[in-house]
A and B are shown apart, each in its own frame.
Chain A
Amino acid sequence: MNEIGETSDLYEGAILEHDRHPRNRRAMVNCSHTARSENPACGDEVCVFLAIDDRGIIGDIAFGSKSCAIATASASLMTEVLAGKTPAQARILSDHFHAIATDGAEAPPDGMEVEIEQLATLSGLRNFPAREKCAMLPWETMLAALEGPKEGK
């Protein structure tokens, strides 16, 4: 990180906006996939709900959290970007978000330039390596939900 921090920039942009008005922060009764994760370093919790339809599309995605602004904003943005995507696309976007939040080196995958641009609104995170875990917690929870047992079976 820079010797002179850019914390105020971080909290003046997308993070604070999403933290104040999180999208899709709600429970989902009839989800097909769900998972809950905890950041052992701070005790923060995130759960993610996915409703994947017969065509294999994420028709609905929501989250719940007891977390810091960064994890909340990351989860909120994730739900915006992943609605309508396939699990395979969700995995690719997760990798790219990780790149954006850390070294930011990768080129956007074909056909997902819009989504990557949306995710890039959190690119200021790369100046705060201590918060990588906060930023990735919702995405890791989403990936765990994709891998995990389907609810209701």
Chain B
Amino acid sequence: MEAAYSGYGQLGAVERSLLEGCAAGENHSAPYDVEKVRTDFPILHRPVRGRPLVYLDTAASAQKPVQVMEAERSFYAEDYANVHRGLYFLSQRATECYDAARRKVQAFLNARYQHEIIFTRSATEAINLVAASFGEAFLKNGDEVVITGLEHHSNIVPWQLLRSKKGIVLKVAPLNDRGEVPLEDFKKLLSPRTRLAALAHVSNALGTVLPVTEMIRAAHSAGTKVLIDGSQSIVHLGANVRKLDCDFFVFSGHKLYGPTGIGVLYGKEALLEAMPPYQGGGDMIARVTFEETTFAPLPAKFEAGTPAIAQAVALGAATDYLIRLGLDRIYAHEARLLEYATSRLREIESLSIIGTAANKASVVSFVLDGAHPHDIAQVLDSRGIAIRAGHHCAQPVMTRFGVPATARASFGLYNTFDEVDVFAEAVKSVEALFQR
């Protein structure tokens, strides 16, 4: 395990190169001031169980800065109406705000066109959209979809549903003992029948960063399209979709310090054009008669019904916030936190870290001999420390490592080294409590 982290320092550079040319990759020369950043997050100053909150569950959902809350509040207070339909001032104003949010996301992802950005309810809905619509247009009985052994359930189940419906074949690239997906094993699965590879960029359960650049290149050489689930990665590594050259990219707003109820599907224009609508309804049509309906152009074709307007606006504010802080500086801060937390946890004899990939992002999953993950989380909660315990919606990962569950701490842009110390000391006390 010692060797697993030896190359950690240089890996930041590899991932940082993805940020080049991406809006979030702007250079910031000032040092990162985490205490100042924390003043943007009111909830971090709320005591929990009589102690200062130590929030280490950002991988499940990030807390929100006042800038995001204020964007949503002021939109409702000053600019709100339904979008696209009204001829009156407020409807036009709301439409402008909604379109501006789309352009912010386009810039954040470095997408070529704003109409390549589709707003959805969640990353889950975005994957289901691709499974249903890309599946309808391009997949037939016997065609193959490749995923990896560390996918979240939301990037497994939609493909299983499609398998039941269309008879596709689902192939899974295996994990090694460190929780990595070896590139060669992935390449071996690519065949002339492989139409799509759907890959998490970062594992939510283990923190493993997949070598998606190489995986996308290999897939494209085999004529395979690639969907990247960026739910866990975008917040640490950004997402430069043109540099990655992925065909689809999905993420959810709430993990990017934005609101719940909003997700994003990026798709290359030509693919989205060739795909049928996902849902039918208002906003997605050009003309409806009872004989025939013609569909609206992108992105409206995939946005049936009144969208999550205020949430989109607030998501735009979240991207502004991250660009202002500097995604590269956030990444450096989180990498240091992870390195420090890993070294502190290694001091605990009966603790095993699950997932020791050379390249990890901001997540440390672990088990203790003699103390179940739920019991660890419960004792930590009594000290105001919020960590997750369970299968993290990635049961196949748990099966791979022979554990029913893990405890998981994840770090965000607002966490401090002092918090890591409080956390590590609390885990030590759990070890003492459950010592047999």
Interface residues of A (CB under 8 A from B): 3-8, 10-11, 16, 19-20, 41-45, 66-70, 128, 131, 134
Contact = CB atoms under 8 A, between A and B. Distances in A.
A44 B404 contact: yes
A92 to B, nearest CB: 28
Contact of A70 (B373, B374, B382): B374
Contacts of A3: 49-50
12 contacts: A4-B50, A7-B378, A8-B382, A11-B379, A16-B434, A42-B389, A43-B390, A43-B398, A44-B374, A68-B373, A69-B372, A69-B375
Contact of A44 (B378, B395, B405): B405
A128 B50 contact: no
Nearest to B391: A43
Contacts, number: 61
Contacts of B351: none
Nearest to A130: B378
Interface string B352-391: 0000000000000000000111110011011000000111
A134 B374 contact: yes
Given A8-B382, A10-B378, A131-B374, 9 more contacts: A5-B381, A7-B381, A11-B379, A19-B434, A42-B389, A43-B398, A43-B404, A44-B405, A69-B375
Contact of B49 (A4, A16, A41): A4
A3 B373 CA distance: 22
Contacts of A7: 378-379, 381-382
B390 A68 contact: no
Nearest to A128: B378
B43 to A, nearest CB: 15
Contacts of B50: 3-4
Contacts of B395: 43
A9 to B, nearest CB: 9
B433 interface: yes
B272 to A, nearest CB: 35
A79 B363 CA distance: 39
B287 interface: no
A20 B379 CA distance: 17
A5 B398 CA distance: 29
Nearest to A38: B404
B371 A69 contact: yes
Closest 9 CB pairs of A and B: A7-B382, A68-B372, A5-B382, A68-B374, A43-B404, A69-B375, A5-B49, A4-B50, A42-B390
B407 to A, nearest CB: 11
Nearest to A11: B433
B436 interface: yes
A131 B378 contact: yes
Nearest to A21: B436
A7 to B, nearest CB: 3
Nearest to B430: A11
A76 B340 CA distance: 39
Contacts of A42: 373-374, 389-391, 404-405
A66 B371 contact: no
A3 B405 CA distance: 27
A145 to B, nearest CB: 21
Contacts of A67: 372, 404
B374 A20 contact: no
A11 B404 CA distance: 21
B404 A66 contact: yes
Given A43-B398, A67-B372, A131-B374, A8 B390 contact: no
B79 to A, nearest CB: 38
Contacts of B434: 11, 16, 19, 69
B33 to A, nearest CB: 31
